[in-house]
Amino acid sequence: MDIGTLGGLIGGFFLIAGSIVAAGNPLYLYGDIASFIIVLFGSFAAMIAASPLQRSLGFVKFLKIVMNVQVFNKEAIITQLVGFADSARKEGLLSLDDALGDVEDDFLRSGLRLVVDGTDPDVIKKILYGNVSMIDARHQKGIDFFGNWAKIAPAFGMIGTLLGLIGMMANLEDVASIGPNMAVALVTTLYGSITANLVLLPIQFKLEDRNSEELLVKEIMIQGILSIQSGDNPRILEDKLYTYLPPADRPQKSESD
Amino acid sequence: MDIGTLGGLIGGFFLIAGSIVAAGNPLYLYGDIASFIIVLFGSFAAMIAASPLQRSLGFVKFLKIVMNVQVFNKEAIITQLVGFADSARKEGLLSLDDALGDVEDDFLRSGLRLVVDGTDPDVIKKILYGNVSMIDARHQKGIDFFGNWAKIAPAFGMIGTLLGLIGMMANLEDVASIGPNMAVALVTTLYGSITANLVLLPIQFKLEDRNSEELLVKEIMIQGILSIQSGDNPRILEDKLYTYLPPADRPQKSESD
Amino acid sequence: MDIGTLGGLIGGFFLIAGSIVAAGNPLYLYGDIASFIIVLFGSFAAMIAASPLQRSLGFVKFLKIVMNVQVFNKEAIITQLVGFADSARKEGLLSLDDALGDVEDDFLRSGLRLVVDGTDPDVIKKILYGNVSMIDARHQKGIDFFGNWAKIAPAFGMIGTLLGLIGMMANLEDVASIGPNMAVALVTTLYGSITANLVLLPIQFKLEDRNSEELLVKEIMIQGILSIQSGDNPRILEDKLYTYLPPADRPQKSESD
Amino acid sequence: MDIGTLGGLIGGFFLIAGSIVAAGNPLYLYGDIASFIIVLFGSFAAMIAASPLQRSLGFVKFLKIVMNVQVFNKEAIITQLVGFADSARKEGLLSLDDALGDVEDDFLRSGLRLVVDGTDPDVIKKILYGNVSMIDARHQKGIDFFGNWAKIAPAFGMIGTLLGLIGMMANLEDVASIGPNMAVALVTTLYGSITANLVLLPIQFKLEDRNSEELLVKEIMIQGILSIQSGDNPRILEDKLYTYLPPADRPQKSESD
Amino acid sequence: MDIGTLGGLIGGFFLIAGSIVAAGNPLYLYGDIASFIIVLFGSFAAMIAASPLQRSLGFVKFLKIVMNVQVFNKEAIITQLVGFADSARKEGLLSLDDALGDVEDDFLRSGLRLVVDGTDPDVIKKILYGNVSMIDARHQKGIDFFGNWAKIAPAFGMIGTLLGLIGMMANLEDVASIGPNMAVALVTTLYGSITANLVLLPIQFKLEDRNSEELLVKEIMIQGILSIQSGDNPRILEDKLYTYLPPADRPQKSESD
């Protein structure tokens, strides 16, 4: 569970609810099923129209990515790569064959497999970077999905408010009802803004961050795989790979952050 | 028929209509021919002024692209390419000549034709990528058409509302008519926002998605064509081409999505 | 005369006028010289401050580009280039010398002149692409001029409305005048929005389109010129150049659009 | 003095003042020292916080650039370069040594000095383009300064208006004061919009234009310097350099603009 | 302490407070704990949801970067590099070994260490530029953090205002309370705008500036390190490195800014 994302979301909603209560207003004033439906389902209908059915129905998959902490233990990956470089140097590239079974990461394992198979370095480079750019492109679709949704949701908030205002204005005789009707109308704008700014934008930013983190890990792996193949000095490889980490995470500090 | 796009659009409109009815307002309050005309035709007039006549009159062509599901059976294309690679290896490139008649896709067939004709690989690469970038440029014009329209439509919604407000304000004596007039004026803003957010933006996003999907398929074809010419191992080609598909669609999974 | 642009503009204005009349409001309500001046001349004053005097005074030149249909008969240009390639192959490059006088396009003629003069292909390439990028840069200034104007015009609409509102609010005793004063104030916002969305943005989009069309034609010419010099097969050249056109405009269709 | 920029600014302010007078409102209604201070000094305080002290205090330097017409007599520069190319061809590169003292432009002189000193062409290219990109980067900071200021100024206009509105609303008993208070509050929004749209944005656009003009002149100089070193034909050099100018400014016209 | 940033911030707040007092309004009208909480903590909750927990909790680190003047004495760095180039030329690269201990900057020291160790120039280049791009990427995350926060903060200002308006409108009977309630509601919008425009955006711009400044210094160091290794003339190196500084900071002026 990603405590940050969940905590941020829940905290944000509690802050909003708390500020309502603190102002002495009853919470039910701010609850309106119709407003909720028009904002969430209306904007989602637009997203369904905008995207392949498979993606909009599968958007939950991206939520799972957001909520689960992907543990990229970069130090462990570097240690593993340096270890492989070491044994490759001492016992030859073929010695990696046995160790491959223990490599959990599919990307790393398939890359090392190419090395063991004696594939040409340029071909390996092409395949691995091609893989990475396809992964990036797929993630980008998820990022764009939430980014576009975050743009459309406030518009549906405004659409809902306009629906309420128009209904109210066509019927202004009952002066006493103007205020409450206006309140209901504004709730939809409120929902649109909360949906976009507290839910969808944070999800988009989080997915972007996760993606850049994963691409960084893949870059470390590719650099490691290519160095192993070219027989680089394991010590130099370690130094090189640690430059991908912020100075605070390195064995010995060597630059300002 | 693309069920997603149509379903999303219709669903969105039903949600809006339903929320009106649920709020106890009569639907006719929200229907106003003049508002409809100023938003849709006014913004379309601006698009006609902005674009070559041929494109704005032919925009229906893009709608057809949006509504029709283009079946890019990528697995079938990969299988076909691998099959060609196989027979090219066993029986020579000329053996592809007979098979060309069965290739439905124009782009793929003309690319393979170049291979059979013995054209230089660099020339083939140039021609095919040149073709792809022209296709992309043409699609982009359609994408921009709807993107620009989506920017202009809400402005015409606001223009219509201003027209109504100005007329109303110049004549405020009849207090009873203020509300209904205001309602009518706001309907135009409502139409502008719905047109942009439920119709035009989803069409733009869908066209972008279709374009990136088509470019991906073309990239698969180009990689396949070039590999066939250079006599690559069909097995390696298959692996390579499947990296263009998400892991879930590959014969054997080899990386995280 | 570009019927599309003119028709779109006039049509848009008629739609707006028609919707006023249809709503039973007198047209004169919407006419206000001061509002017109503040929006159009105010925003133009800002553009004069923002641009070299020569460009802002010469902006009419760009309007002419917008209004005149530039007939780039691309098929004719391709035919001409293929013809030159043919005679260059049969009778040598020098045979083009006589034909140069008939070439109307300055860019094409000066490019072929370089070929006839025996200039090195790399030098020709550099000169022609250098030329094209300068043309592009010059057009871009015109495109930016209208783009920036379209951003500033609505701001001056709002400035005019604020001027009216402030004057009105400082003097609220005469309740009967509030409505009409408000109406006049809003007219300026209306003008700002119409100026930007029905006039300036369409001009910007049109100039962008014209520019990309001209760059495409120049690219066709450059490819043709270089192929003529290198003695390419006229048939292959024709195929190559036609890929720059949408499939519907080609002699024989060979790909989906 | 740049008549365009000054004239545009003054003209814009006169238009605004004129439209106030024409509407029969007294000018003093629109003057409010506190609003002026909050918009101009408030947004400038934000810019001081945002920028190195040296830059925000030195922003007047950029205003001088905006106001002074930089006379880049491009024709004269080309003539000079062609002259140098001529004498370099006839009398050798060392003959340029004497002429260097007359070259006013520092960039051009230091470039030619490198040629006379017999520096390697690749090194010269690197130094000169390195110089140009540093000049560009420094100008960009000034452009961004005004661009960011133009974004922040309207926000401070709104902040000032909110300050006024809040004060007014907390004290609504005196109904007669509502209008005038509202008027004063709106003046700040007016100032924010005028500051951004009539002053800061035009300055930003002008600086961008000046920068692109200067980079173009530097590009002409670099091309000239490199051609002189490589001993190019002065006639061909002249043709080449004139393609950087719009057709209308060339000795003989050779392409459409 | 960075006097500019702190002074700008404090100055901006004083201007706002001063304009309230000058308008004769009591300051307490503008203080509202609930509004403060919803804007600052609400938007921060969204940022926590959007970012890895470590980054949002560590955002104070970035504030420290903003507030501390990083003294990049570029002239001193250039002098140091030229000195190293001098002794490397006279006494050989190994002579730098002793001097390395005195180099304070980690980046510079580790780069020179590579030179002394006899590492291949291409490898050094790759390592140093790789380092720089990782530093840039890490800084960018901080810049984006404040940039995204600056986008979300005004939205929470509006959310808070909507919360207040809805509560007020549902309960319009007490006409006397409308004004004060409205005032309280607007305070939240005010806070959102001040937070974004006077605090967060300036911090973002400052971080961007600091980053570009640091990257420039790193570029100077890399150029110096590579020149030292290749044994360049110290005089030429000095000239080259000074082109990275604005003309006013150079020993002898050689171009216009």
Q: Which of C127, C139, C141, C152 is nearest to C214 (CA)?
A: C139
- The secondary structure element, H or E, covering residue E155 is helix E121-169
Question: Alpha helices of B53-174 — where are they, by DSSP H?
Answer: 53-57, 59-67, 74-91, 96-99, 106-116, 121-169
Between E11, E16, E202, which is nearest D163 by CB? Answer: E16
Give me the sign of the Cα torsion angle E18, E20, E22, E26: negative
Subunits with at least 3 CB pairs below 8 A relative to chain B? A, C
Subunits with at least 3 CB pairs below 8 A relative to chain C? B, D
Task: Give yes or no for residue B240 having a pLDDT over 80.
Answer: yes
Task: Give yes or no for residue D254 having a pLDDT over 60.
Answer: no
Task: Give yes or no for residue B156 having a pLDDT over 90.
Answer: yes
Q: Do chains A and E touch (3 or more CB pairs under 8 A)?
A: yes
Q: What is the pLDDT of residue E102?
A: 83
Between B42, B48, B166, which is nearest C30 by CB? Answer: B166
Q: Do chains E and D touch (3 or more CB pairs under 8 A)?
A: yes
D11 contacts C159? CB cut-off 8 A: no
Residues whose CB falls within 8 Å of the CB of residue D25, separated by 6 or more in sequence, listed in order: C163, C166, C167, C170
Q: What is the pLDDT of residue C106?
A: 87
List the single best residue of D35, D36, D48, D215 to mutate versus E (max E Cβ within 10 A).
D48
pLDDT digits over C92-131, tens only? 888 888 888 888 888 999 999 999 988 899 989 988 999 9
Q: What is the pLDDT of residue B176?
A: 79
pLDDT digits over A206-253, tens only? 999 889 999 999 999 999 999 999 988 898 899 889 989 887 777 754
Find the residue in B nearest to A109 (Cα). B254
Q: Which amino acid is at E31?
A: G
Between C53, C164, C171, which is nearest D3 by CB? Answer: C53
Q: What's the pLDDT band for E108 if we cut at 50, 70, 90?
A: very high
- The ipTM is 0.86
Q: What's the pLDDT band for E255 if we cut at 50, 70, 90?
A: very low
Contact C19, B37 (CB under 8 A): yes
Q: What is the pLDDT of residue D71?
A: 64
E189 contacts D41? CB cut-off 8 A: no
Contact A31, A184 (CB under 8 A): no
Q: Which amino acid is at A119?
A: T
Task: Give yes or no for residue C255 having a pLDDT over 60.
Answer: no
B110 contacts C254? CB cut-off 8 A: yes
Q: What's the pLDDT band for E101 if we cut at 50, 70, 90?
A: confident
Helix axes E3-22, D33-50, angle to 10 degrees: 160
Q: What is the pLDDT of residue B253?
A: 43
The pLDDT mean for chain B works out to 88
Task: Give yes or no for residue D255 having a pLDDT over 60.
Answer: no
Distance between B98 CA and the closest CA of chain A, angstroms? 32
Distance between B38 CA and the closest CA of chain C, angstroms? 6
Residue E222 with chain A: CB contacts under 8 Å:
none
Find the residue in B nearest to A136 (Cα). B257
Q: How many CB atoms lie within 10 A of CB A43?
A: 29
List the single best residue of E184, E198, E206, E210 to mutate versus D (max D Cβ within 10 A).
E198
Task: Give yes or no for residue D191 having a pLDDT over 50.
Answer: yes
Q: Which of C196, C225, C203, C245 is nearest to C74 (CA)?
A: C245
Residue A170 with chain B: CB contacts under 8 Å:
25, 29, 179-180, 183
Whole-model pTM: value is: 0.89
Q: What is the pLDDT of residue D22?
A: 86
pLDDT (mean) for A49-73: 77
Q: What's the pLDDT band for B64 if we cut at 50, 70, 90?
A: confident
List the single best residue of A57, A140, A169 to mutate versus B (max B Cβ within 10 A).
A169
E165 contacts A30? CB cut-off 8 A: no
CA B151 to chain centre: 17
Q: What's the pLDDT band for A256 if we cut at 50, 70, 90?
A: very low
Which of 186-205 (C) contact D at CB < 8 A? none
Distance CA A59, CA A47 (A): 10
Distance CA C28, CA B88 (A): 78
pLDDT digits over C131-164, tens only? 999 999 989 998 999 999 999 999 999 999 999 9
Q: Do chains E and C touch (3 or more CB pairs under 8 A)?
A: no
Between C37, C148, C158, which is nearest D19 by CB? Answer: C37
Distance between C245 CA and the closest CA of chain B, angstroms? 8
Query: By the CB < 8 Å criterion, does C30 face chain B?
Result: yes
**DSSP codes joined into one string, chain A:** --HHHHHHHHHHHHHHHHHHHHTT--GGGG--HHHHHHHHHHHHHHHHHHS-HHHHHTHHHHHHHHHSPP---HHHHHHHHHHHHHHHHHH-GGGHHHHGGG---HHHHHHHHHHHTT--HHHHHHHHHHHHHHHHHHHHHHHHHHHHHHHHHHHHHHHHHHHHHHHHHTT-S-HHHHHHHHHHHHHHHHHHHHIIIIIIHHHHHHHHHHHHHHHHHHHHHHHHHHHHHTT--HHHHHHHHHTTS-GGGSSS--S--
Q: What's the pLDDT band for E257 if we cut at 50, 70, 90?
A: very low
Task: Give yes or no for residue A74 having a pLDDT over 60.
Answer: yes
D45 contacts E15? CB cut-off 8 A: yes
Between D2, D194, D212, which is nearest C159 by CB? Answer: D194
Task: Give yes or no for residue B198 having a pLDDT over 90.
Answer: yes
Contact C110, C182 (CB under 8 A): no
D196 contacts C162? CB cut-off 8 A: no
Q: What's the pLDDT band for B257 if we cut at 50, 70, 90?
A: very low
CA R_g for chain C: 26
pLDDT digits over A119-137, tens only? 899 989 988 999 999 999 9
Find the residue in B nearest to C5 (Cα). B49
Q: What's the pLDDT band for E70 if we cut at 50, 70, 90?
A: low
Task: Give yes or no for residue B99 having a pLDDT over 90.
Answer: no
Distances (CA, A) of B241 to A131, B209, B246, C49: 10, 20, 11, 56
Task: Give yes or no for residue D59 having a pLDDT over 80.
Answer: no
C vs D, Cβ pairs < 8 A, gives 146
Return the ∠ at Cα E93 (arms to E90 and E94), rounded to 5°. 110
C127 contacts D243? CB cut-off 8 A: yes
Residue D167 with chain E: CB contacts under 8 Å:
20, 23-25, 29, 183
The pLDDT mean for chain D works out to 88
The pLDDT mean for chain A works out to 88
pLDDT digits over C175-216, tens only? 778 888 888 899 999 999 999 999 999 999 999 988 999 999
Residue D16 with chain C: CB contacts under 8 Å:
38, 42, 159, 163
Q: Which of C195, C197, C200, C199 is nearest to C145 (CA)?
A: C200
Q: What is the pLDDT of residue E227?
A: 93
Query: By the CB < 8 Å criterion, does C25 face chain B?
Result: yes
B19 contacts A46? CB cut-off 8 A: no
The pLDDT mean for chain C works out to 88
Q: What is the pLDDT of residue C79?
A: 93
E193 contacts D51? CB cut-off 8 A: no
pLDDT digits over E188-213, tens only? 999 999 999 999 999 999 999 889 99
Distances (CA, A) of D116 to C75, D85, D128, D225, D229: 51, 12, 15, 10, 9
**DSSP codes joined into one string, B7-28:** HHHHHHHHHHHHHHHHTT--GG
Task: Give yes or no for residue A10 having a pLDDT over 90.
Answer: yes
Task: Give yes or no for residue C257 having a pLDDT over 60.
Answer: no
Find the residue in A nearest to B67 (Cα). A49
Query: By the CB < 8 Å criterion, does E165 face chain D?
Result: no
Distance CA B115, CA B231 (A): 11
Distance between C54 CA and the closest CA of chain B, angstroms? 25
Q: What's the pLDDT band for D128 if we cut at 50, 70, 90?
A: very high
Residue B257 with chain A: CB contacts under 8 Å:
135, 138
pLDDT (mean) for C162-175: 86
pLDDT (mean) for A173-182: 82
Subunits with at least 3 CB pairs below 8 A relative to chain E? A, D
The pLDDT mean for chain E works out to 88
Distance between B255 CA and the closest CA of chain C, angstroms? 33
- pLDDT over 70 for what percent of chain B? 96
Task: Please report how many Cα atoms fall inside a 13 Å half-sphere around the Cα of residue C125, on the Cβ side.
Answer: 8
A vs E, Cβ pairs < 8 A, gives 148
Distance between E111 CA and the closest CA of chain D, angstroms? 22
pLDDT (mean) for A132-143: 91
Q: What's the pLDDT band for A71 if we cut at 50, 70, 90?
A: low
Q: Which amino acid is at E210?
A: R
Q: What's the pLDDT band for C228 if we cut at 50, 70, 90?
A: very high
Q: What's the pLDDT band for A4 if we cut at 50, 70, 90?
A: confident
- pLDDT over 70 for what percent of chain D? 96
Residue A46 with chain B: CB contacts under 8 Å:
8, 12, 197-198, 201-202
Q: What is the pLDDT of residue C175?
A: 77
- pLDDT over 90 for what percent of chain E? 52
Q: What's the pLDDT band for D69 if we cut at 50, 70, 90?
A: low
Q: What is the pLDDT of residue C254?
A: 43
Residue A56 with chain B: CB contacts under 8 Å:
4, 8
Q: What is the pLDDT of residue D129?
A: 94
Name the residue with tokens 């054209």: B119
Query: By the CB < 8 Å criterion, does E253 face chain A?
Result: no
Find the residue in D nearest to C51 (Cα). D206
Which of 222-241 (E) contact A at CB < 8 A? none
Min mean pLDDT across A46-55, D53-62, E161-170, E185-194 is at D53-62
Which of 5-24 (B) contact A at CB < 8 A? 5-9, 11-12, 15-16, 19-20, 22-24
Which of 125-164 (A) contact B at CB < 8 A? 127, 130-131, 134-135, 137-138, 141, 148, 151-152, 155-156, 158-160, 162-164
